[in-house]
A and B are shown apart, each in its own frame.
Chain A
């Protein structure tokens, strides 16, 4: 065993965790340039930033938020299917309260409404966390309960109708601008910074990875795994709640049926594309943001290159499959070895997990 300095240069770049997601994102963006003129141009109009790139981030903001929360849940080797329902509930509750306000433009009233909606999201998240950590139900089942029941709850709140509001402070959350930036982008940056602080500066990240990597060993090392898991599900629901406010604010209405529909799948996809394994134990916040951007860019691309509507889902599925294959080290190893000279048997680096 001789220790040699790790090789640097182009090879290390190639091996960087986020190399492939970045390549894919850039490729998708370049593809858009062909179909959309001035795709990369960003201009300032009336003190607001405009441009296709800005739009991608702006419309992708709710997905980025949900995916951030999902990342931490997945890192504990869990999963949260209920985020879509929480999106709907949070939006519905906020809009219901605002529509009851005498003056819909009252800032205090809107803040109160948003606060109550987020509080309910926290409670729902804690409920998920308790089911998983204290009762011991498998995450996929535990959150499936709220995924299904939550749609009902959202219906109950809206009374089966679509609630429309007309409130300029509320409109700001998902559709407004602040300091030339779309407000949604600012929210994402704040939440991202907060998450990075909790997980990197404080020790939450270490404990999350430990619980996800080996739950029993973590328990014996004195980690309060229950507390960690409940915290993580609560945080995930909070992110979904904020996303719910954004989505309903953007369209100034709450639709209990369709708001946040299937967003859990896009979020899980974003997390996986970003290099966080579903088996837990590791996570990458930067990767998740990239993953969410890839998905949003893909959606934009589908519109801009004019894929016929009946094939959009198929097209999306195709691209996602390619992305996932490229992301998989096992798949890349297979392709590379195929091309190696004959005589050497095509074997993957470590096909079975046999430990030292």
Chain B
């Protein structure tokens, strides 16, 4: 069976940024009706290749062919009109517009020049329904969680009449259920002959959906492989250029010693966000939170940190009653909260890597007591190497870093505070396999040193690997609290999430 010719072919692609060669002589091809995974570590050049392909960036070297004809797009719009539909890594929708408007922006159904709002809402609803999502499409997008926003971006992309669909880490904040929905849609599109380019750091997902993969390392092409002919171990080896020794299995978590309670929340709640819950976190304890999208994990964390005001209940920190009105107050009590939404709630794009890392520490000291530059440099250098932030240049603007490296910068900001309770909301979002293991090890180490951690992740394995105890949320309620012992597996946890019964 002769394979059909590629629908898209890129040859010798090069892209330079000041001081960085992001892509260097990369070849890439995409066949119709295949799912093609683009693999590589954080900063390998995946998103850059996608942005070059879709006209966000100019090509410095190399050429591109779409359906056998030379092509170069002057803008993402031009690429879209040529049949390439893209979901970029950082969801870029308009939070102030409604869900329906976001889906149809630029291609609103019209009659005689007038937008047909009713029809637009109806079609948006239908479209989301196909992804198993039931939303109020006339509500502002900002009222929904990041995961829902990601799904809306995907809904928009799959609705466009396209020959090529590009998805840059679409699943980074989705949980198993949504991923399954997305994969169903992808398979259907694939059957229609659409070529799909897919980026993910979840190897299991890649092996489930991709037919073929292209691996990049440091901006260079490593090779193109059939998924069925490359084992996961080989893949990781090619991505990082060496064998990854002990990727999995942190040695069995020691149960938290008998330590005093650090944070005690009693009937803490906020109308519309999370029902009153009672939760105790001990020193040195890692508490995981599990639950479906929209189950209230982030909302719970925000209440503990004072990012939102609690309507009911009380909070005690280290035995003292605490009424946290602002994050500032929480930080003064040695709490830290690393948000899942690094773009809106985390990084300041115009500041450098160094400035972003020291920001919370400097804020805690106040502007009259600047952190000495020597101390800043020391701290920053320490975390750049501990988290392997690349490029290892503290004076680079953080907006120029790859998504995974930005996430590491955000994490470093909170780690240097050395808080007593560290709340991590999806801390490994968009982080590659090697760095993920590194971060998990760091969390385990810190908790052994006495720091308490509240760990939120859509990835159940990760929650199980790290936590001493797991809180399960459903429909904005904390429905169960389970000790993480031998009996707790991801199957049991999934069941608890689904049924909501305490085990």
Q: Do A and B come from one complex?
A: yes
Any A CB within 8 A of the CB of B47:
yes
Residues of chain A in range 177-213 having any CB-CB distance to chain B below 8 Å:
201-204, 206-207, 209-210, 213
* B172 part of interface (Cβ distance < 8 Å): no
B312-362 residues with Cβ-Cβ distance < 8 A to A are 326-328, 330-332, 337, 339, 343-351, 355, 359-360, 362
Docked complex Cα distance between A352 and B86 (Å): 14
Contacts of A219 in B (CB 8 A): 326-327
Q: Which B residues are in CB contact (< 8 Å) with A204? A: 367
Within 8 A of B (CB), among A89-112: none
- Asked whether any CB of chain B lies closer than 8 Å to the CB of A157, the reply is no
B residues less than 8 Å from A210 (CB atoms): 348, 351, 355, 359
A 1-33 binary contact with B (CB < 8 Å = 1; else 0): 111111000000000000000000000000000
A280 CB, min distance to chain B CBs, angstroms: 9
Residues 217-248 of chain B, each 1 if its beta carbon lies under 8 Å from chain A, else 0:
01100000000000000000000000000000
* In contact, B339 and A220 (Cβ under 8 angstroms): yes
**CB 8 Å contact bits of A220-239 with B (1 = contact, 0 = none):** 11111000100000000000
* Minimum C-beta distance from B332 to chain A (A): 8
User: How many A residues face the partner with a CB closer than 8 A?
Assistant: 40
In the complex, per-residue mask of A339-356: 1 if CB is within 8 Å of any chain B CB, else 0: 000001111011111111
* B55 adjacent to chain A (CB < 8 Å): yes
Q: A201-B370, A203-B370, A356-B89 are in contact. Are A1 and B348 (CB under 8 A)?
A: no
A3 to B20, CA, bound (A): 5
Closest to B404 in A: A356
CB–CB A355/B399 < 8 A: yes
CB contact under 8 A between A2 and B20, given known A210-B359, A228-B367: yes
Shortest C-beta distance, A249 to chain B (Å), equals: 32
Beta-carbon contact of A354 and B92 below 8 Å: yes
**Which residues in B have their C-beta under 8 angstroms from that of A330?**
none
Query: B337 to chain A: which residues have CB within 8 Å?
Result: 220
Residues on B with C-beta less than 8 A from A281 are 348-350
Pick from B72-80, B129-137, B287-295 the stretch touching chain A: B72-80
B413 adjacent to chain A (CB < 8 Å): yes
CA distance A219 to B348 in the complex (A): 11
CA distance A220 to B344 in the complex (A): 11
B339 CB contacts on chain A under 8 angstroms: 217, 220
Find chain A residues with CB under 8 A from B55 CB: 347
Nearest residue, chain A, Cβ from B396: A3
Contact between chains at B74 and A221 (CB < 8 Å):
no
Contact partner of B56 (CB less than 8 A), chosen from A3, A213, A345, A350, is A350
Tell me, rounded to whole Å, the shortest Cβ–Cβ distance linking A304 to chain B: 40
Q: Assuming A1-B45, A354-B76, is B348 touching A214 (CB within 8 A)?
A: yes
Taking a contact as CB atoms under 8 Å apart, the answer to whether B45 and A206 are in contact is no
Interface positions of A (Cβ within 8 A of B)? 1-6, 201-204, 206-207, 209-210, 213-214, 216-224, 228, 281-282, 344-347, 349-356
Taking Cβ atoms with an 8 Å cutoff, the residues of B that contact A are 18-22, 24, 43-45, 47, 51, 55-58, 72-76, 88-90, 92, 218-219, 307, 326-328, 330-332, 337, 339, 343-351, 355, 359-360, 362-371, 390-391, 393, 399-403, 406, 413
Q: What are 14 of the A-B contact pairs (CB < 8 Å)?
A: A1-B22, A2-B218, A3-B19, A6-B19, A203-B365, A206-B359, A207-B363, A221-B359, A223-B328, A223-B359, A346-B74, A350-B57, A355-B349, A356-B399
20 other contacts beyond A4-B19, A210-B355, with CB at 8 A cut-off?
A1-B44, A2-B24, A3-B19, A201-B370, A202-B367, A202-B370, A207-B367, A210-B351, A216-B345, A218-B359, A220-B307, A220-B327, A220-B345, A221-B359, A222-B360, A347-B74, A351-B74, A352-B56, A352-B76, A355-B343
